[in-house]
């Protein structure tokens, strides 16, 4: 079964004033097993289509899989309904590694764009994958830039990204996929993660560095997903989901708002610029269950007209964790302008 899904720029999604924060309006757990007893989970990225109420969840199962669900508008009131599952597969023109770690997802027309996390090895490279949405067949794999590749004292750490992928779409301009490392590259200062822009040209995706994002200092912090907000408005920005685990069982989850970096044909763009958060919110304090939150996508419009964020957690196929879903809506106070 194929449900038409077209990625679009999300509506404004920020609290007003920023200090008002976020309200947890609904939550649920997904089942651990499907109708045929197959394990479900490992959900690392999400793409929600409000018009059809269809949620795609990308699993980091060894070969990569997309599970489709319906019923997000009634989250917490009735169970979500499974629609179909799509296994990622290699093709003769583009073989898929024996194991991948699918972590980021953007849907554009008939194509799925997937960020695959690496292990600093030729057998499990970090890549950007272009996948046919109907068949799950890999169409093309794009290697990451040289600075991100494993070399002595350089490149991505093993199992440290890329974990995020977001669409920047603006009228009259080429679509750009934004991809961030989960943690600093080996050659980079601490508490800074690199941001790439993949321009989707007719000949394929072309990567260029955009900036670095400042993340909290301290061992264990990482960036797990990105979302462009108000792309066509006067103040576009980025939301980043930040996560930290401390043994034996302490989770911290922040949502950070960054300015959108300069990109495109601007000769003054500074790819080494470090962007500090404009604001950040503690999502555990906002009501999220402490767990491994990794996925971020615009959710359905609420009855009061507010937009929402839909988040998903990755259970790592562990009995000690859950596949949570949560809907967050921005709090708005007077004299903030009404929702558009």
Per-residue pLDDT band at 6 (split at 50, 70, 90): very low
Alpha carbons 117 and 21: distance in angstroms, whole number: 31
Does residue 9 register a pLDDT over 80?
no
pTM summary value: 0.92
Sequence-separated (6 or more) residues with CB below 8 Å from residue 184: 190, 191, 192, 193, 194
* pLDDT tens for each residue of 110-121: 999 999 999 999
Contact 278, 259 (CB under 8 A): yes
Instruction: Using DSSP, state whether 73 is helix, strand or coil.
Output: helix
Residue 163, pLDDT score? 94
> Helix, strand, or coil here: 148?
helix
Identify the pLDDT of residue 283: 97
Residue 263 clears pLDDT 70, i.e. is over it: no
List pLDDT tens digits, range 161-176.
899 999 999 889 999 9
Using CA atoms, how far residue 318 sits from 60, 87, 159, 241, 291, in Å, is 13, 21, 18, 22, 12
Q: How far apart are CA 171 and CA 340, in angstroms?
A: 19
pLDDT score at 195: 97
Residue 12 has pLDDT above 70, yes or no: no
DSSP characters for 204-235?
EEEEEEEEEEE---STTEEEEEEEEESTTSSS
User: For 87-107, how does the pLDDT look when each residue is reduced to its tens digit (9 = 90+)?
Assistant: 999 988 889 998 899 999 999
Q: Could you give the count of Cα atoms lying within 13 Å of 29 in the half-sphere of its Cβ? A: 8
Q: What is residue 11's predicted lDDT score, i.e. its pLDDT?
A: 46
Span 235-257, average pLDDT: 93
Predicted local distance difference test score (pLDDT) of residue 271: 67
pLDDT per residue as tens digits for the range 273-287:
999 999 999 999 999
Delineate the domains of the chain, giving CATH numbers in brackets: 18-330 (2.115.10)
In the structure, what pLDDT confidence band is assigned to residue 338 with cuts at 50, 70 and 90? low
Please check the confidence at residue 270 and state whether its pLDDT lies above 70.
no
Q: pLDDT (tens digit, 9 = 90+) per residue, 282-328? A: 999 999 999 999 999 999 999 998 999 999 999 888 878 889 999 99
Q: How many CB atoms lie within 10 A of CB 181?
A: 28
């Amino acid at each position: 079964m194929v449900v038409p899904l077209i990625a679009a720029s999300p509506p404004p999604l920020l609290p007003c004033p920023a200090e008002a924060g976020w309200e947890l309006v609904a939550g649920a757990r997904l089942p651990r097993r499907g109708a045929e007893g197959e394990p479900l989970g490992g959900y690392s990225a999400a793409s929600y289509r409000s018009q059809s109420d269809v949620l795609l969840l990308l699993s980091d199962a060894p070969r990569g899989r997309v599970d489709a669900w319906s019923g997000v508008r009634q989250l917490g009131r009735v169970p979500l309904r499974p629609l179909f599952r799509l296994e990622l597969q290699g093709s003769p023109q583009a073989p898929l590694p024996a194991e991948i770690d699918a972590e980021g997802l953007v849907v554009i027309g008939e194509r799925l764009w997937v960020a695959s996390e690496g292990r600093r090895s030729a057998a499990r490279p970090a890549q950007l994958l272009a996948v046919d949405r109907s068949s799950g067949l890999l169409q093309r794999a794009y290697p990451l830039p040289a600075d991100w590749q494993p070399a002595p004292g350089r490149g991505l750490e093993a199992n440290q990204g890329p974990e995020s992928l977001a669409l920047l779409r603006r009228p009259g301009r080429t679509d750009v996929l934004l991809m961030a490392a989960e943690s600093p590259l080996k050659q980079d200062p601490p508490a800074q993660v690199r941001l790439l822009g993949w321009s989707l040209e007719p000949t394929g995706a072309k990567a260029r560095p955009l900036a670095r994002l400042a993340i909290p200092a301290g061992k264990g912090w990482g960036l797990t997903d990105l979302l462009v907000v108000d792309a066509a408005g006067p103040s576009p920005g980025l939301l980043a989901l930040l996560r930290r685990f401390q043994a034996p069982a302490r989770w911290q989850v922040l949502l950070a708002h960054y300015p959108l970096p300069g990109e495109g044909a601007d000769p003054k763009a500074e790819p080494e610029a470090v962007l500090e958060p404009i604001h950040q919110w503690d999502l555990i304090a906002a009501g999220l269950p402490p767990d491994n939150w990794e996925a971020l996508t615009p959710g359905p419009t609420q009855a009061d007209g507010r937009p929402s964020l839909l988040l998903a957690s990755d259970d790592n196929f562990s009995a000690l964790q859950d596949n949570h879903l949560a809907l967050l809506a921005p709090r708005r106070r007077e004299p903030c302008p009404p929702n558009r």
